[in-house]
Chain A
Amino acid sequence: MIRLKNIFKYYSNKFVKTYVLQDNSLEIREGEFVTIMGPSGAGKSTLLHIMGMLDSPSSGEYYFYGEPVHRLGEKQRTELHKRRIGFVFQSYHLIDELTVYENLETPLLYQKVKAGERKSMVAEILDRFHMAAKKDLFPQQLSGGQQQLAAIARALIIQPKLILADEPTGNLNSRQGEEIMQVFKQLNEAGTTIVQVTHSERNAAYSERIIHLLDGRIVEDAPVSLVGVAGE
C-alpha cells in the first residue's frame, strides 16, 4: 500500500540544512497495524505527514497504491488523500467554530457528497460512537476523550483505507486512551490499515509491527513480539 524509497527531509535555514529524515525506505502493506516510536524530535510526525501527503519529502520516492505521489501536484495529492486517508492528531484539531455534527460533515462536503447521503452517513457514525446526543455541541464543550472520539469519527466518515494517528492518546488519561485503542483495534480487524505514533508501550502492544526512529533514521523495524523483548 505504501512504499517509501530513500526519503530525505531537511529544512534550510540561512544556507544550513537541518536533516529531519535521512534516507529512509519503508513498506507498509494493506491491513497492517504499525506503530512508530522514538524520542521527541526524532522525525516521527514528519514521517507521518509525508505518508499522509500533508508534507512532501525533500527527495526520495513515495508510492501510494503504486501511484508515484512524489510526482503529483498539490491538487492531485489532495484528491488522492481525501478519499483514502483519515487523520487523528494528539490535539484533536476539530474546528472550533463548528459543532460536532458540522465537523463530521466537513470532509463529506469536500468530497461533494449529496446532502441526503451526508445526513445519513453522519447519523450512522454518530450512532456508532454513541455521540448522537452531543452532535450540536461545540468542541470546547466536550471532554478531551470525547473530542478525540469525535476526531476519530470524522477521520472514519470517509471510510478510509488508511488511518494515520499522531500520538492520539497523548492528551488523554489512561482509561480514555484505552477506549481509543480499542476502537483502532476493531478498525484494524475490519481491514483498515493503521499507522500510529506513540510513546506508550501499552498502546504499541496493540499493533503488529514497530518502527523505531532515532535522529531521522529508522534504526529498527520488527514485529511487536520481538521489539517487546528487545526493549526490556
Chain B
Amino acid sequence: MFKNYLITALRRLRYNRSYAVINVLGLALGMTCCLLIFLIIRHESGFDRFHRHFERIYRVVTDETINDKSTHTSGSPIPFAAALRNDFPQIEKAAVSLYNQEGLFSLEREGQVRRFQENRGVVFVEPAFFEIFDFPWLIGDPNSLAEPNTVALTEDLAAKFFPGEDPLGKTIRLDSQIDLKITGVAKNPPAQSDFPFSAMISFKTAPQSGYDLDSWGHLMSNVHTYLLLPPGESAQALESQFPAFTEKYYRDDVARRRYRLQTLSDLHFNPRYGNYGDRTISKTTLWALGLIGFLLLLAACINFINMATAQALQRAREVGVRKVLGAFRGQLVGQFLGETFLIVLFAALFSLALTELLLPSLKTYLGLNIPFHPLQDARLLGFTATLAAAVTLLAGLYPALILSRFTPALALKNKPAAPASGAFNLRRALVIFQFIICQMLIIATIIVSWQLDYFRNKDLGFDQEAVVITPLPRNDAAVLSALRNELLRDSRIHNVSFSFSSAASGIRWDSNLQHTLNGAEEDFVSDLKFADASYLPVYGLKLVTGRNYTESDTISEWVVNETFARKLGLTPDEIVGKTFKLGGRPYLPVVGVVRDFNATSLHEEIRPCLLAARRQSYYEAGVKIDLHNAKEALRHIETCWNAAFPDFLYSYQFLDERVARFYQEEQKTAQLFRVFSGTTIFIGCLGLLGLVSFMAARRTKEVGVRKVLGASVGNILMLFGKEFALLILIAFAVAAPAAYYVMNGWLQDFAYRIQVGAGVFALALGITALIAALTVGYKALRAALANPVESLRYE
C-alpha cells in the first residue's frame, strides 16, 4: 500500500515539476527561516544557563529617582557585597566584580617588552565569584585572588601572552602601572555567557587603579554585586530588608535609591540594566522573531493549500477511481497527507542544507557564535521533525479532507462542483490572509527603517562630522599642552578639545548640585561634562546666550544647556548669573547657555547638563580635522599621540561612527526583520504566481471567447487585475490598523521618534500593489496575448 502511494506521489511530482518546485521551494524557504529563528532564539535564551546555581543567582541593581524621574543602573556601591556578607549570614555567597572592560597589558618576553591592548574582558573580581558561577579553572585556585596583584587568564589569553610557555607565576603589567602575578588559568567562558572575561584580577588590586573600595555614595554601572541565595530563600524577603540595611551604612541614599535583586535569568533580556557582555536582547524582539517565523511558515503553508486545492479538479478523478476500487476515505486522507509529507521532507532536507549555507553569514552579521551540527543536535532534529509534522498537517490536512470528500459518482464525472467552489472561496480568504501578513511586515519594515533613518539624520545639536576621538591615558598639564601644540602644528588639524567625554557618549556622569534660587539651599541633579574651552567650537555647540567659560585647570564658572534652565523654570537669559555649587566648592556663576544637544543616544531624552573646565577629569581628546586630507590628518594624530603616551597603544574612533554604534543593535534587528519580511513577500509571490497560473489555465477558454468577441489586451488584464486589487484592498484594511498598533508600541521605546503618518501606509499599499502587479501581470499578459484560436482548440 505504502509503496503504491509513494510511487504515485513521486510520479505526480515528476509530471507536475513546476508545481513541485514552487511547493518545495516555498516550504523550504519558510522552514529555513524557522530553523534560523529557532537557532537564534535558542541561542539567546540559553545564556548562562550552564551555571549549576542558575536559578539561585541574583544581581543587586539600583533604581534611583533623580529630579522626579527614575533611572536604572546595574551598578551597586563597591562595599555592598562585603556588607551583605556581614549582615545576612543566610546568603550563601556574595561577591563584587568591577568590569573594567579594556586594558593595556605589557610583559617581558625574550628580553623585549610587548604590549597587548585587550578591548574586552578585563575584570576585578573577588574569589567568591567563582563559587557563585561555574567558570572552572584549569590551573590554580580561585582563592589565590584573595591577594592583591594577582590575576588569572583564560586559556586563550594565556596562549596569546605566553605561547607554548607555562604562564603560572609570570608577571604582567596592567596599564603600565600595576604589576600582576599570574596565579591561574581558567577555561574560556562559553559563547553563551554575559561574562566575557579574559583577565580576572583580584579585587584588592582595584584601589591601585583609582577605585575607592569604601565609597557608598558613588554608583558605577560596571560595579556589580552578585549573590547566591540558599534553596528556598525568598529574594523578595531579602529585598525588603535592603532599605534598613543600607541606611545603616549610608544615610543619604535611602530616599533616593532602591536596591533590587535581579535574577540571573533576566540579565540577558533586560536592556534597563544591561550586562558585562554589553548586549541584551529584549524578549519582545525574540517574540517578534518567533511570530515572524510562524507567519512565514503560515504563508508557505497557505501557498501549498492554495496550489493543492487549485489542483483538486485534476485529482478528483483519481479519488473517484480509488473509491470505486474500494478505498476508504481515511485511506485517501492518509495518502494525501503522505504525499504532502514527502514534499515537506524534501523541503526539510533542503532547508537544513540552506541553513548550513546561510548560518555563517548570519552569525558574522549578528556577532553570535551559534553552533550548527544537525546530526549531533537532538533538539534541533526534534524541532525539525516537529516542524515537518506541523507543516504536513497545516498544509496537507485541509486539501486532503477536501479531496477525499468527493463522492465517486461526481468525481468520475469530473464535476465535483460543490467542494471546489467552497475551496475557491477559502482560497481567496487565504490569499487575503497572505496579503495581510505581507502588508503588515512591509509596514513594520518601513517604520523601522524610517525610524533608523531619522536617527541617522536627526540634528543632534552638535556637529558629528570630521571629529576624531582618541583616549587620554594621562592628563597631566604638561603632557596635554604639549599634545595640543603638536597636533595644531599641522594645518589639517583644525582644533583640539580635551574632555571627560565627547559630545555624544555612552558614558554619563551625573551629580547633585545645590542652588538657592528659592531662598533656601536645594538639590538639583545634572549631567556633568568637564571639558576645556575648545569643547564648544570642536563639537559645534551653539551658545544661545552669554559666553563660553574661560580656559582653566579647575572649575571656575559654568555653562549650562537649555534643559537645565527650563527644568528650573528659568529662561536662558534669566539663568545667566545664577550660581550653583558642586561638592565642596563655592557657589559659581553660570556665564552662558548652549543649545540643547543629545549627549547620549536618542533612546534617552535630553537631560540638564552642566559644562565646566576641570583638567583632572579629561579622558578623551576630540580632534577636528580636515576631511579632505583625512589620511594625513589621522597619521599626524597617531604620531603626536604616540609621542605623548609612549607606554600606551593608540586607538581612535570617528564621532559619527560612535554615534552610529548607539543604534547598532537596532540596525541589526532591523536588517534581520527586513530579510525575513523579504522572504515572506517572496514566498507570497511564489504562491501568487502559482495561483495565477492555475487561474490563467482555467480561464484559457474564457479569455479566448472574450477575445473573439473583441476584448482588448487591456480588458483581459483588467479581468485578472480586478480580482487581485480587491483582495489587496481588503487585506490592507486589516493589516494597516494592526501594524499601526504594534509598531506604535515599538516606537514608544524611543524618546525621539517619527510620526507614523499616511505616507507609510500609502507606500506599503503601493509596494504590495506593485509586487502583486508584477507577479500577476506576467502570467495575465501571456494569457491575454495568446492566440484565441490556439486556446479554444484545446477545449
Contact = CB atoms under 8 A, between A and B. Distances in A.
A97 B329 contact: no
B789 interface: no
B8 A97 contact: yes
Contacts of B326: 78, 81-83, 107, 110-111, 158
A102 B327 CA distance: 15
B328 A54 contact: no
B351 to A, nearest CB: 27
A24 interface: no
B7 A97 contact: yes
Interface stretch (A35-43, A87-95, A213-221): A87-95
Q: How large is the interface on B (under 10, 10 to 19, 20 to 34, 35 or more residues)?
A: 20 to 34
B251 interface: no
A187 interface: no
Nearest to A93: B321
A55 B11 contact: no
Interface string A71-85: 000110010011100
Nearest to B1: A109
Interface residues of A, number: 29
Contacts of A52: 324
B544 interface: no
Contacts of B328: 75, 78, 110
Nearest to A90: B412
User: Which secondary structure dominates where chain B touches chain A?
Assistant: helix
B331 interface: yes
Nearest to B318: A95
A109 B4 contact: yes
Interface in B389-416: 407-410, 412-413
Q: Point out which of B4, B12, B409 has the most chain A C-beta atoms below 10 A from its C-beta.
A: B409
Given A78-B327, A97-B15, A49 B409 contact: yes
Contacts of B1: 109
A22 interface: no
Contacts of B478: none
Interface in A13-32: none
B177 to A, nearest CB: 82
Contacts of B413: 45
B572 interface: no
Given A75-B328, A97-B11, A106-B4, A89 B412 contact: yes
A10 to B, nearest CB: 14
Contacts of A146: none
Interface string B546-568: 00000000000000000000000
Nearest to A164: B324
Interface in B368-425: 407-410, 412-413
Nearest to A99: B7
Interface in B232-271: none
A58 to B, nearest CB: 13
A141 B15 CA distance: 15
A105 B326 CA distance: 12
A125 interface: no
Contacts of A54: 320, 323-324, 407-409, 412
Given A54-B324, A74-B329, A102 B317 contact: no
A94 B410 CA distance: 16
B85 interface: no
Contact of B317 (A93, A109, A154): A93
Contact of A102 (B4, B12, B409): B4
Interface in B1-16: 1, 4, 7-8, 11-12, 15
Contacts of B15: 97
Q: Point out which of A83, A89, A110, A111 has the most chain B C-beta atoms below 10 A from its C-beta.
A: A110
A55 B409 contact: yes
A98 B320 CA distance: 15
B322 A106 contact: yes
Q: Point out which of A74, A106, A158 has the most chain B C-beta atoms below 10 A from its C-beta.
A: A106
A106 B1 CA distance: 8
A188 interface: no
Nearest to A106: B325
A46 interface: yes
Contacts of B412: 54, 89, 93
B8 to A, nearest CB: 5
A93 B317 CA distance: 8
Interface in A195-215: none
B321 A95 contact: yes
Interface in B50-105: none
20 contacts: A45-B413, A54-B324, A54-B409, A74-B329, A75-B328, A82-B325, A82-B326, A93-B320, A93-B324, A93-B412, A95-B8, A95-B318, A95-B321, A96-B318, A97-B8, A98-B11, A107-B325, A110-B326, A110-B331, A158-B326
Interface of B: 1, 4, 7-8, 11-12, 15, 317-318, 320-329, 331, 407-410, 412-413
Given A54-B409, A95-B322, A106-B325, 20 more contacts: A49-B408, A49-B409, A52-B324, A54-B323, A54-B407, A55-B408, A55-B410, A81-B326, A82-B325, A83-B326, A93-B324, A95-B321, A97-B8, A97-B12, A98-B7, A98-B8, A106-B322, A107-B325, A111-B326, A158-B326
Task: Please provide the 4 A-B residue pairs with the shortest distance between their CB atoms, ordered closest to farther.
Answer: A82-B326, A55-B409, A110-B326, A49-B409
